[in-house]
Structure 1
Amino acid sequence: MSSSTNYSNCAVSIRSVLLAIRVLLAVALVFALLYRAPFPRIAAAFRTALTSPRMLSAGLLLVGLALLAGAIRWYVLLRAQKLVVSVSDTIRYFFSGQFFNVFLPGGCGGDLIRMYWVVRRSSGSRTRAVGTVILDRVLGLYLYIAAACLFIGLAGVLDLPGVPPPITRVAALSLLGISLAVWIIVLLRPVRFQGAFADSPGSGDARWARLIRALAQSASLYLHRPAALLGALGLSAANFALQASACLCFSHSLNLPASTLQVIAAFAAATLIGAVPVTPGAIGMREGTYVLLLQQAGVSASGALALGLLMYLAGAFWGLPGVLVFVTEPTRSPRELAHRARTVLQEDPLPPGDPGQC
């Protein structure tokens, strides 16, 4: 057996072990949450929410509008790279990614699916196509980082249990300052920043090295397009405001005693935690963050968990339109589409003769 085959088998074994660990952690978190908030209490919280159908409907609508703002943000990034994808196709691909994020969290990420669609349909380079998805995710998360740092660090609306408040606030404000400094350098000194992305000598032809260079070059393509970046940041702000408003609507429907800033801070932190794939689909991580933070504001574990579940269910509802992609595509199942996406994107992201330039 060749060394490459041994390496491949070892990599598969490691991935299987890591997946098993992630699943076990998710199960443990779910049991821990249900121990603190038993089913009868969660059901009672949902019955309370059902007495406010207008608030529930408003929250559901706001989540849909927030996702639409995210799709338009991606379209702005695609247009900036002169990638020919229509608005309708961009929205369709975006919501197909939402479908995969919600309903197949352990199988294939929605970002991978979006990369696959735009690589297939656009006539531009693969580097630019993949880079739009990555930058879209980074810009989308930045507003959540800033909000969590501001509300927890500056306003001090929530404290972490067991951590002295001054340490929490200094750490949050430091993270906010560093992130702002990076954005200022990117927008005001694009040439100097782009130089940091130059190919390093002696990096060889290792796949990881080519991948890092491809992604770095893709990100650097936007440094001379501040209008596109600022427009995308504006849409990220709209996305955050709509999602936060939806969370407030759900909080009011549940009659939670937390203040507006406390709910927004918990929502921002839970969204950030949910973006880290420690468990499949961040199951238990997101909801646990709501419970951990909102209990400091006097919210019961069942109420905080119900709020997290309502936000998740709203995202799941708007993931359903993503299934329409299978009406127009020759795929038998989402699993088949996920397999195709992996196959296409495992190829060299920066093929010879494709420097990723406009």
Structure 2
Amino acid sequence: MSDKSSTAKRKKNWLSIFLRSAVSTGILSFLFFKVDWTKITSVVERSNPIDIVLGIFFGGCQVFFSAVRWKILLQTQEIFIPMFKAFELTLIGQFFNAFLLGSTGGDIVRIYYIVKLYPEKKTAGSLSVIYDRVIGLVGLILIGQLLALNFFKLFEAHPITRHAVWLFFSISLFILFLFGLILFFPNIFSFDKRKKKTISLFSKQNLNNLIDAISRYRYGKKENFMALCYSVISHGSTLIMAYCATRSLHLDIPFLFLASILAIVSVLISIPVTISGLGVREGLIVVFFQLLGIKAEPALSFSLLVFAMSVFWSLVGGIVYLRYKKP
């Protein structure tokens, strides 16, 4: 039975990848035939390289502040690593996030390395990576909700943007509710004596370690606040990077409006409908930009430029990965 179940699971995983790839390919193909690529070439040729370099710099700031946030969360679990090591592993995670299927490949790699460094704190180290991802998402949600309310009437002007904003609010409230439930009611993970046949990965000891690790975050109010602040700073660096892309392409877009769009889109593409959000991200940006009268070609050029800026640091992470001395 175990062989059959594992075979069925593999088939299910491959089917999921195939369907997500098909959705991504379909949306990108639609955009490919809809836009005039000669206009995109013209937009790119007129871009300002100084703003591109500045945007890449702020992209690096985003990675650095994310590393600082993770280091704080590791310290809460009494795992102390040098700042340079945290930055190294964050860059490596950035590399795998960009080039593995899905947006969690880098998290799995970070978990692998931190467990290798601190095998006696396997549960705490693994939770730090997951909690780091959650804190980052919470910071993005808070920025998005505040700004989305400010531009709500404008977003209601188009049916796609209206549905996107309402979906964003629904997902955001659910994530905040779940975050509060796990953080303030950690006993929901308590070991049930009636379930003796729990999978070995979730043995009584491991569950108790998980509850203890969650409790550290629950009572670490100062650490939570600092991590959340660095999350906002990290996302702010990403938004400035994107704003530099609009300046480079000579697009007249207010910074706060751009920030609200990117926050909404970033949360929506976390839904595993496509591969790493490909297609959905580009399609939503095109529609949102239309609210300001910006055509599809400049909007798609912007999306591709921001993606290229992010890929630059992913490539740097790849170089770090090749040179990294594994513990």
TM-score range, shorter chain: 0.7 to 0.9
Q: In the alignment, what sits opposite 1:32?
A: 30
Structure 1 pair 289–216 and aligned structure 2 pair: CA distance change class (3 A)? farther
Q: In the alignment, what sits opposite 2:82?
A: 86
* CA apart distance, 1:178: 6.9
Equivalent of 1:327, from 313, 323, 326? 323
1:8 and 1:154 map into 2 onto residues whose CA distance is 49
**Is the helix fraction higher in 1 or 2?**
2
* CA apart distance, 1:275: 2.8
Q: Match for 1:322: what amino acid?
A: G
- TM, length-normalised to structure 1: 0.79
Q: In the alignment, what sits opposite 1:162?
A: 159
1:196-207 alignment runs, 5 A limit? 196-207=188-199
* CA apart distance, 1:201: 4.7
Q: Deviations over 1:227-253 (max 9, x none)?
A: 111110010010111111111111122
Q: In the alignment, what sits opposite 1:271?
A: 266
Q: In the alignment, what sits opposite 2:228?
A: 233
1:227-306 alignment runs, 5 A limit? 227-306=222-301
Structure 1 pair 99–225 and aligned structure 2 pair: CA distance change class (3 A)? same
Q: Deviations over 1:80-134 (max 9, x none)?
A: 1111322211111110011111123369711110110101012542110110000
Q: In the alignment, what sits opposite 1:58?
A: 54
> Any conservation in 2 of the 1:30–1:284 contact (CA below 8 Å)?
yes
1:116 and 1:160 map into 2 onto residues whose CA distance is 46
Number of matched residues? 322
Q: Deviations over 1:134-186 (max 9, x none)?
A: 01101111122122222223432533732696x88777667767766777788
Structure 1 pair 144–326 and aligned structure 2 pair: CA distance change class (3 A)? same
Q: Match for 1:318: what amino acid?
A: W
> Any conservation in 2 of the 1:114–1:133 contact (CA below 8 Å)?
yes
Structure 1 pair 330–150 and aligned structure 2 pair: CA distance change class (3 A)? closer
Structure 1 pair 94–61 and aligned structure 2 pair: CA distance change class (3 A)? same
Q: Match for 1:198: what amino acid?
A: S
- Counting aligned pairs with the same residue, the percent is 23
* CA apart distance, 1:216: 5.9
Structure 1 pair 174–101 and aligned structure 2 pair: CA distance change class (3 A)? closer
* CA apart distance, 1:304: 1.4
> Any conservation in 2 of the 1:119–1:130 contact (CA below 8 Å)?
yes
Equivalent of 2:91, from 95, 110, 118? 95
* CA apart distance, 1:36: 2.6
* CA apart distance, 1:265: 1.2
- TM, length-normalised to structure 2: 0.86
* CA apart distance, 1:199: 3.0
Q: In the alignment, what sits opposite 1:194?
A: 186
> Any conservation in 1 of the 2:59–2:241 contact (CA below 8 Å)?
yes
> Any conservation in 2 of the 1:251–1:307 contact (CA below 8 Å)?
yes
1:171 and 1:273 map into 2 onto residues whose CA distance is 8
Q: In the alignment, what sits opposite 1:219?
A: 214
Greater alpha carbon shift after TM alignment, 56-65 vs 322-331? 322-331
Q: In the alignment, what sits opposite 1:340?
A: none
Q: Deviations over 1:39-88 (max 9, x none)?
A: 22222221222xx2222121111111011100111111111111132221
Q: Per the alignment, in what secondary structure is the counterpart of residue 222 of structure 1?
A: helix
1:36 and 1:265 map into 2 onto residues whose CA distance is 26
Equivalent of 1:23, from 21, 24, 28? 21
Q: Per the alignment, in what secondary structure is the counterpart of residue 307 of structure 2?
A: helix
Q: Per the alignment, in what secondary structure is the counterpart of residue 125 of structure 1?
A: helix
